[in-house]
Amino acid sequence: MFYYLLYPFKDEFPFLRIFGYVTFRTLFAAITAMVIVFYIGPKFFRYMKNIDFKENIRDDGPQSHHSKAGTPTMGGILMLISLTISVLLWGNLGNAYVLIILVSTILLGLVGFSDDYSKAMKKRKYGMSARTKFILQNIIALVFSLLIYNFSSAETIQTFIYIPFLKDPVLDLGIFIIPFWVFIITGFSNAVNLTDGLDGLASGLSMIAMTALSVFAYLTGISSIARYLLIPFIPEVNELAIFLAAFIGSGVAFLWYNSYPAQVFMGDTGSLALGGAIAMSAIMVKRELLLVILGGIFVAETVSVILQVGSFKLRKKRIFKMAPVHHHFELSGWHENKVVVRFWIIGVLLAIISLSSLKII
């Protein structure tokens, strides 16, 4: 909004040129989102508690988690509200990348909202059916992928696959990039959802990943920098940094309330939206395969569930004390805080490794 309201008067008032800088708007998008969460957060949390909108604690989980019963959930709504307001204020709403990812993220959040609502208010233990949730996620991912595929011009490299630390693409999937993108979006959305089992774990790791992706987005959208760093140049994708900064701002402020002991949980509303946003951002900046490194914790959590289920079905034996793997460490004697902080440290290291792929000689 500010970009359209103020930037056109840059000739009459030269200081307004600052609204044309992505860096300036990125910084204030993050600050705005943080302020919104801090301002309305306590009121929102009290309201959710008053209407008895609380998290259901799994019976087969660690016994220490039973004390969390009654904690308000669906804090992801607050994140999405602050994200949307901040992007509308500071983003270039004429940029297709920003509009497509914002709408897609909100839709994934609505899927999570339906699941949270079913569990909290309708008292359905498992919420929305897994099949329904999966179908809705795939539909949103498919629409997003089709829009990005058709939006790309002949000069861009949207259908190419890049391997981290290699400067040239290894494969052009053509139209088959669409099912590949759908798989990534749905898979990563669920991966973050699986990781959201400890106070601050998923939200903290998501902010780390988004910070790295915001750097990729900004640099990928500037031709001179992209040529110097030997990375693909995608026009106008640097505006994606504003979206990511707004999400980071809302997530960091939310983490203030979500850190141990959590005053609120993000619920599927937040986790599905966060995971989808991370995957969609990686797709837009052509870092799909880098997600294996950047989102290594999310991948490990998902793999631990797959291995646990597969092992029990085939051998009637469990590999981990409990899956996802963060519960395994809890049951091994680690305090919840220790698990979260150590996973954050690993997440930071993985982000640094991912960023090191920028300059390839």
What does the pLDDT look like over 218-228, one tens digit per residue? 999 999 999 99
DSSP letter at 262 equals: P
Residue 155: its pLDDT value, please? 47
User: Which percentage of the chain shows pLDDT scores above 90?
Assistant: 65
More confident residue, 52 or 226: 226
Cα 285 from Cα 269, distance rounded (Å): 25
Cβ-based burial of 267 (10 A; exposed 0-12, middle 13-18, buried ≥19): buried
Cα 115 from Cα 125, distance rounded (Å): 10
Residue ranges per structural domain of the chain: 2-355
Residue 156: its pLDDT value, please? 56
Residue 53: its pLDDT value, please? 67
User: Which percentage of the chain shows pLDDT scores above 70?
Assistant: 91
**pTM of the full predicted structure?**
0.93
End-to-end CA distance of the chain: 40
CA 348, 235, 216: angle at the middle one, nearest 5?
5
Cα 258 from Cα 251, distance rounded (Å): 9
DSSP letter at 356 equals: T
pLDDT bin (cut points 50, 70, 90) of residue 151 is: confident
Q: What is the mean pLDDT of residues 108-135?
A: 85
β-bridge mates for residue 54, sequence order: 72
Cα 192 from Cα 202, distance rounded (Å): 6
Cβ-based burial of 40 (10 A; exposed 0-12, middle 13-18, buried ≥19): middle
Is 159 a residue whose pLDDT tops 70?
A: yes
Cα 240 from Cα 87, distance rounded (Å): 10
